[in-house]
A and B are shown apart, each in its own frame.
Chain A
């Protein structure tokens, strides 16, 4: 079991460039999440998908789009990268969003926008 995988591990972009971060899980989880983590701050939710075919905004969705391609895969797209999007991005999954369910995280993508 690979758990939650993310690609790429590192990325450097110039302002205005676009890219897609990929995430996949092999635990048959219904819910998937994208977070960003900045120094001195907790993880902040960007978007989540409670189940295949649904996506919803989290705390900091501006500048991002997501696609829940199927039950396994949940991608995050930056259409026009900005320096403020320099961060570490984590994908996570859980059985459901119901209370009591724990989240499992991918290894993260370290993104720098110049």
Chain B
């Protein structure tokens, strides 16, 4: 089993839709959690960190459930510019970052 798993995708949604991505991690010692965004043929860029209490940044909401070892990302009112691959990333103290395979999102006009 991979250490970080994500919805396989792709997700094709109309503009204005709400879309949710799921991620699970297998190592209960994981301490830090992130969502990165990667545009086609570009490098990954940090979208947001994920905190235990959940956090929101504009149209984006991230949730963490440590008991279930589950992370989610909700995008409201999808824009064409949200089309990208979303990578779930976990990190343990003194260890390295582990990336999920990513979920591709296409927002259609």
Is there contact, CB below 8 Å, between B45 and A98? no
Is there contact, CB below 8 Å, between A102 and B100? no
Task: Judge whether B4 is part of the interface by a CB distance below 8 angstroms.
Answer: yes
Contact of A42 among B4, B49, B92 (CB under 8 A): B4
With known contacts A41-B101, A42-B87, A42-B102, A107–B43 Cβ distance under 8 A: yes
| Nearest opposing residue in chain A for B45, CB measure | A105
Interface residues on B, range: 20 to 34
Report the minimal beta-carbon distance from B74 to chain A, rounded to whole angstroms: 21
Main secondary structure of the interface of A (DSSP, over half): loop
Task: Judge whether A74 is part of the interface by a CB distance below 8 angstroms.
Answer: no
Is there contact, CB below 8 Å, between A58 and B43? no
CA distance A44 to B97 in the complex (A): 10
Is there contact, CB below 8 Å, between A103 and B32? no
Is there contact, CB below 8 Å, between B93 and A98? yes
Task: Judge whether B46 is part of the interface by a CB distance below 8 angstroms.
Answer: yes
With a CB–CB cut-off of 8 A, which chain A residues contact B100?
42
Interface residue ranges of B72-109 to A (CB < 8 Å): 87, 91-97, 99-102
Interface residues on A, range: 20 to 34
Interface residue ranges of B36-66 to A (CB < 8 Å): 42-46, 49
With known contacts A105-B44, A105-B45, A42–B96 Cβ distance under 8 A: no
Is there contact, CB below 8 Å, between A99 and B87? no
Contact of A97 among B34, B87, B96, B101 (CB under 8 A): B96
Is there contact, CB below 8 Å, between B43 and A105? yes
With known contacts A40-B101, A99-B31, A48–B96 Cβ distance under 8 A: yes
Is there contact, CB below 8 Å, between A97 and B95? yes
Proximity string of chain A (15-51) to chain B, C-beta cutoff 8 Å, 1 when within and 0 when not: 0000000000000000001010000111111001000
| Nearest opposing residue in chain A for B29, CB measure | A99
Is there contact, CB below 8 Å, between B94 and A106? no
Task: Judge whether A53 is part of the interface by a CB distance below 8 angstroms.
Answer: no
With a CB–CB cut-off of 8 A, which chain A residues contact B42?
107-108
| Nearest opposing residue in chain A for B97, CB measure | A103
